[in-house]
Amino acid sequence: MSVTPASAPTRWRPEILALQGLVAIFVGLRLYSNLTADLLGDEAYYWLWGQHLSWSYFDHPPLHAWLLRGVEALLGWHKFNVRLLTWVTLAVVLAVFWQWARRLAPEDPHLWFWRGAAIYLATPMFFALTSVAYHDHLVVALMLVAAHCFVLFVERYESGTPGWPKWLFAAAFVAGLAALAKYSAVFLVLGFGATILLRPGLRALLRTPFPWLAALLALALQTPVIWWNLVENGASFRYHFSGRWGGDVGGLHWEHLLIFAAQTLLFGSPFLVWPIVRLVRSRPTGGLASAATTVATSTFLISAVTLLLVSLFMNALFYWNIPGLAVLMLLLPGVMTNRWLRGAHLAHGLLWAVLVTINYAVMPLGTLLQRQDNGASINYDWPLIAEHVTAARQPGDAIAATHYSTASQLAFQLGTSDVLELSPAPSQYDYWQDIGALTGKSAVILVDLEDRTKLMNYLEQHFETLTEIDRFTIRRFDRYLYDWRIVRGEGFTP
């Protein structure tokens, strides 16, 4: 599995220059969006987690929040600082790509590397979800580092090279950190286990303490999550296994499977299907390429099959398959040899990258198409929203919003961690805010457009009086985006 150029390798061939230019465009789009777009709701939410340190959290494990708190302590409270770690993890991802290029294509590592970097950045799922401060950018980087260490372990163990245990334990440690960032990293750990079972040269290892100690190391890193769930009656586990689904669980839902498959194809890129099939069917003999292929395909198949089965019973989300696709990215330059297919993937990804950037940093695409897209529109002009809330507030008023995401966006814009969430929906706010302290007091409340009737009914149950004190519209280039309402609630009762 290698890239073999028709002419003598050189770093300045037209294809490499073109790939470098394309990578620069993707990076430029990321930078423009990071500098200009207001924080998405979950980005602000996770930043607020870091301001309320805990062993773990309701929605996810704690590593990302801990790191965000470190960024805030070192660099302060700024929009770009929230997304700063995405640049660190991008550098880590590209460093792993370079290490694998040097080993898998030693005769021409630059071509392998630039093809791999372009393929990765052009995959819509990775461009969109690792460009913002979601947990995905961190789990992808850690998973690739863990896979790198594990493949080096396999190569050294099977060749009898001394020093292989350190790579096994390094892989376990980093995989444990990945699971401490996002639960879905478990697919990589299962991929490691499958690799040991599938490769005859590794099975004898199961009769030694090494793999079991490595597994215990990865599990030990989950102690904060386990402890938090023990204290909180399994809140996070219960939420992920039942609470988040409401009543949409049980029985077969073929439409969910079709939606999951279609979204995975669209956001993972339909032009990757054949290269992935080639990779799964390939059987490299010996060495790093063979070990890497087993790890990558095992992780992918376990993740894909599991999520397809899950989607039969509930509405599985396409981006849950990021762990399955991430390690494959390192090997795609070797199987994505058809230049037309590769070009189609790069063009598809560039189009999506431009559209995503426009949607969140310039103007919601729905607005441009004369269709309302509240999911994108709600993220615009938070400085103006904060001004309205500040103007509406009177001395003694608490500040609140009716959804965890809008409460977080408002809190970030105001530079405080004390905004309350007043909503019937469960969130991490339930674990840090002291709602009882509001008893008998008043609050100015930013009310979402979505489910407004339901939210107002909820507020009416908890306040003696509710008075609308402001109503305003967010516009962009003189086009309507979103309506907001601010109410004052007096005489709160929990």
Mean pLDDT of 424-443: 93
Instruction: Examine residue 2 and state whether it is found in any structural domain, yes or no.
Output: no
Instruction: Examine residue 7 and state whether it is found in any structural domain, yes or no.
Output: no
Question: Residues 370-428: pLDDT tens digits?
Answer: 888 888 999 999 999 999 999 999 999 999 999 999 999 999 999 999 999 999 889 99
SS3 359: helix
Distance CA 122, CA 101 (A): 18
Is the same domain home to 326 and 396? no
Of 361, 395, 413, the last residue of a domain is 361
- Residue found by looking up tokens 């599985």 in the block: 316
Is the same domain home to 143 and 230? yes
Half-sphere exposure of 217 (CA within 13 A, CB side): 17
Instruction: Examine residue 4 and state whether it is found in any structural domain, yes or no.
Output: no
Mean pLDDT of 231-257: 74
- Residue 487 belongs to domain spanning: 375-492
CATH number of the domain that residue 380 is part of: 3.40.47
Question: Residues 182-219: pLDDT tens digits?
Answer: 999 999 999 999 999 999 989 999 999 999 999 999 99
Is the same domain home to 76 and 178? yes
Is the same domain home to 324 and 382? no
CA angle at residue 71 from 79 to 27, to 5 degrees?
55
Instruction: Examine residue 419 and state whether it is found in any structural domain, yes or no.
Output: yes
Instruction: Examine residue 301 and state whether it is found in any structural domain, yes or no.
Output: yes
Name 482's bridge partners: 474
Instruction: Examine residue 87 and state whether it is found in any structural domain, yes or no.
Output: yes
b (16+ CB within 10 A) / e for 84-118: bbbbebbebbbebbbbbbebbbeebbbbbbbbbbb
Name 468's bridge partners: 487
Is the same domain home to 201 and 292? yes
pLDDT bin (cut points 50, 70, 90) of residue 251 is low
What's residue 240's pLDDT?
76
What's residue 243's pLDDT?
61
CA angle at residue 20 from 15 to 23, to 5 degrees?
125
What's residue 248's pLDDT?
55
Is the same domain home to 56 and 196? yes
Mean pLDDT of 485-490: 95
Question: Residues 59-77: pLDDT tens digits?
Answer: 999 999 999 999 999 999 9
DSSP labels, 436-483: GGGTT--EEEEE-STTHHHHHHHHHHHEEEEEEEEEEEEEETTEEEEE
> For the chain, what is the domain count?
2
- Kindly report the average pLDDT of the chain as a whole number: 92
Mean pLDDT of 88-114: 96
Is the same domain home to 162 and 270? yes
Is the same domain home to 115 and 175? yes
Mean pLDDT of 311-335: 88
Is the same domain home to 157 and 287? yes
Is the same domain home to 184 and 140? yes
In this predicted structure, the answer to whether residue 447 has a pLDDT above a threshold of 70 is yes
Mean pLDDT of 331-343: 94
Is the same domain home to 355 and 402? no
Q: What is the pTM of this model?
A: 0.93
- For residue 473, give both structure tokens: 């519209």
pLDDT bin (cut points 50, 70, 90) of residue 5 is very low
Sheet holding 443-447, edge to edge: 420-421, 398-401, 443-447, 479-492, 463-476
Contacts of 286 (CB under 8 A, 6+ apart): 158
Strands 479-492 and 443-447: antiparallel
What's residue 2's pLDDT?
46
What's residue 4's pLDDT?
45
What's residue 69's pLDDT?
97
What's residue 432's pLDDT?
93
Question: Residues 258-295: pLDDT tens digits?
Answer: 888 888 888 889 999 999 999 999 887 778 889 999 99
Distance CA 291, CA 308 (A): 26
